[in-house]
Structure formats: C-alpha cells, structure tokens
Amino acid sequence: MNLTARNLDQYRLVETRLQERLDSGATRCNLCPWRCKLTHGQRGFCQAHVNRHGTLYNLSYGILSAIDVNAIEEKPVRHFRPGSRVLSVGSYGCSFRCGGCHNLEISWGVTALDDLARGESTDAFVTPRELVDAALRQGVDGIAFTYSEPAVWLEYLLDVAPLARDAGLYTVYVSNSFVSDEALELVAPWIDVLCSDIKSLSDDFYREICPTARVDQVLGSIRKARELGIHVETRTNVIPGRNDSLDELYRIACWVRDNLGADSPWHITRFFPAYKLSSVPATPPETLYAAREQARRAGLRNAYVYADTGCDCAKENLPIHVYLDKDAGELHQVKKCTASCCGDEGVVLKKYESGGVS
C-alpha cells in the first residue's frame, strides 16, 4: 500500500517516516531514541505508531487535539521575530511520562490514541493544506507544533512545513529533544525555530520520566539542531526539590553558554503542581530569580524569568472548528482508516512492552 500523505483528504494511517525491518521479524521505529521494536499489532511507547503486518504507521496523522493563536513569546521564544504571532497546534503522544505534566490528556493521549486505534475517534482531522489556510485566515506569521511531542507526529509536520514556508509562514518546534539524529536531519530543512526543554542535568531525573533517556542524548540533540542551522532557544521548568539546586541551575546556564552561545536565550519557567507531583509546591518566585542570577554568574546574557508561566499547555482554547472554518459535525465525524487491511476492529491494541525495545 502506497500512502501519499500530501494528497490525503480523509483520515487514514500514514506510514512512519523512519522505520527499519529487522532480521528478528520486528520493525524498528527510528523517530526517537526509544527505537521501539514492534511486531504486528504492537504500538510504540508513545502509542502513536503501530505495526500492521510488518509496516509501521502513524495513527495521529492530521489529528488535532488543540489549536490556539499566541504571541511567539508564549512558546517561549524571544529572539526570533519578536512581536509576531503563531498558530499553535498539537496532536496526541509523547516519548516521556513526566510526573508533573499538565497536559496528560493531550501529551500522553492514551484515551484518544486508543480511540483512533479502534476506529472510534471523533477528534478533528485537518489536512496540511487546511491547517496552513487556517493560519493564513488568522493572519499569523507562523505555525508552532507544541502541546504534544512533535517527534512522534513527524509525518504531519513534514507535510505541513513546506506548505507553510510556501505561504510565507515560519515554523516553531516545541520539544523535549528526545529525538533521533535521523529525525532531526529530516525536519531541520523545514523548521525555523526549536524551543527545547533542558529539564535537568541529571540522568536520574530523565530516567524517572523515561527509562531509556540520558542527559547527553537530549543535550546532543539540542546542539545538533543548532549545527543544522535551526534557531534554538531553551527552557528549564524549575521544580522544587527536583532540579532547583543553584549548582545544577548554574551548570545548565554554563552548558547553554558553551554550546549555544552567551547570547542564547534561556527561559526559566515556574512549576505548578500536577499529577504525580501534586504535593510538590509551586516554585517560589525567588528560586526563579536565583536561577537567573546563576545565569548572570555563568555569563549568559539573556535569561528570562516567567513567574506566572509553566509548560506550553493547551488551556481554555476555543473549539478547533472555529479556526478551521468548518462545520463541527463534519470535523468531528468518527475517524476510521480508509484502508481496509485491518478489518472492522481497527488496529490491534497490543501496547508497548518493554521487551520490545532495545
């Protein structure tokens, strides 16, 4: 089956862009460092990619969980086209499981992705052309891929970004930077701005939210994005008792200075209690200013404090159909893949198993 994503006008599964058949019979997804090895019916850790009869497909192509219009500074990005506005969009799926994530329904998207796999989803399907047209109607200057992790939705991003560029729009990629080198090389020609988290400099911190993640993978990916010519800005969400020691904050600032430059923006945001970290208090503003002081000590010239802002979350957004200029009933019709190879039950719902991952 040859799926030409650019011409899709209805929802269907789209082949995962980076996949590799292994001698074992499994197929490996190479979009992010999980490199999930999947057999028929299995979905990867992010739940957004599934193996059907040896080929991997993205379940969430064109599926929007949230949309909004924002100032680029809200992403946060401050040194690229300041004063301009973006259409922010996200889907479902993330390669991490942060204990303090505010976006669970969107970022992990467990229910939504299950519904898609079963052919029962009523989420909005929006073609790349429709999305770019929506951005132009809103009069924004760019499109930001955010809310969920863009690396697990790369097929869509890669179809939207060239159309956006043709239309004179820039693109912003808000990420945890847990992405493979191959995926980064694929998107680099099409992405103008990366706003990446540096969550911590501790492997233990990363392992808690993603058992396979290491700090050097994330930092290496941020450095590589810059080498590939993307405008890079970084953000640290400071969490009391987790990553708020002055020493760690100083070392993050030093890393930014040494690898991205003394003028590179570092955004210091505030943690607000959520999910597994509900009992952790919101970050005292003094801690955020102390972090900025550490940046000054490191010689980092552009550290910004956001005492009222945490992650880039989708909150109180208008309904999607408002932006799409479409009838809500039509936009939210039940989504079933139009290919017939998996029958009436949708894709098999076997989930990620740790044994399936290298």
Q: Measure the CA angle with vertex 348, ends 346 and 351; round to 5°.
A: 130
CB of 96 vs ligand SF4, minimal distance in Å: 4
Please, what is the minimum distance in Å from the beta carbon of residue 104 to ligand SF4?
7
* 163-177: b (≥16 Cβ within 10 Å) or e: bbeeeebbbbbbbbb
Q: Sign of the CA dihedral 288, 293, 299, 302?
A: positive
Q: Does 179 bind ligand SF4 (CB under 6 A)?
A: no
CB atoms within 10 A of CB 137: 12
Among the listed residues 94, 164, 194, 201, the single contact to ligand SF4 using CB under 6 A:
94
Contact between 101 and ligand SF4 by CB under 6 A: the answer reads: yes
Omega before residue 265 within 30° of 0, cis: no
Q: How far is the CB of 242 from ligand SF4 (least distance, A)?
A: 13
CB of 293 to ligand SF4, least distance (A): 26
Should residue 242 be labelled a site residue for ligand SF4 when binding is judged by CB under 6 A?
no
By CB under 6 A, the residues from 118 to 157 that bind ligand SF4 are 149, 152
The footprint of ligand SF4 on this chain (CB under 6 A) covers a number of residues equal to 23
In the set 51, 60, 88, 107, which binds ligand SF4 (CB under 6 A)?
Answer: 107
Q: Which tokens is 267 given? A: 């955004």
Residues 6+ apart with CB under 8 A from 151: 31, 32, 95, 175, 178, 179, 183
Of 50, 54, 84, the closest CA to residue 69 belongs to: 84
Return phi, psi of residue 238, to 5°. Answer: -85, 120
Stretch that binds ligand SF4, among 89-97, 121-129, 211-219, 299-307 (CB under 6 A): 89-97
> Is residue 96 part of the contact set for ligand SF4 (CB under 6 A)?
yes
Q: Which of 49, 52, 235, 267 binds ligand SF4 (CB under 6 A)?
A: 49
- Please choose, out of 39-47, 228-236, 250-258, 330-338, the segment that lies near ligand SF4 by the rule CB under 6 A: 39-47
Nearest approach, Cβ of residue 137 and ligand SF4 (Å): 28
Tell me the window of 94-102, 252-260, 261-269, 290-298 that interacts with ligand SF4 (CB under 6 A).
94-102
- 343, with CB counted inside 10 A (0-12, 13-18, 19+), is exposed
3-state SS record for 268-301 = EEECCCCHHHCCCCCCCHHHHHHHHHHHHHHCCC
- Residue 35 as a binder of ligand SF4 (CB under 6 A): the answer is yes
Residue type at 9?
D
Q: Smallest gap, in angstroms, from Cβ of residue 56 to ligand SF4?
A: 7
Residue 273 near residue 281, CB atoms below 8 Å: yes
97 binds ligand SF4 (CB under 6 A): yes
Residue whose CB is nearest to ligand SF4 in the complex, by number? 44
* Interface residue with ligand SF4, options 42, 176, 264, 287 (CB under 6 A): 176
Give least dist CB 274 to ligand SF4, A.
Answer: 9
- Candidates 31, 124, 184, 191; binder of ligand SF4 (CB under 6 A) is 31
The DSSP call for residue 356 is G
Structure tokens at 60: 């969430």
Q: Which one of 103, 243, 269, 294 is in contact with ligand SF4 (CB under 6 A)?
A: 103
Whether the CB-CB separation of 191 and 159 falls below 8 Å is answered with no
Nearer to ligand SF4, 107 or 294 (CB): 107
Q: Which is nearer to ligand SF4, 29 or 131 (CB)?
A: 29
Q: What angle in degrees, to the nearest 10, is found between the helix axes of 215-227 and 246-260?
A: 30
Binding-site ranges for ligand SF4 (CB under 6 A): 29, 31-32, 34-36, 44-46, 48-49, 94-98, 101, 103, 107, 149, 152, 176, 311
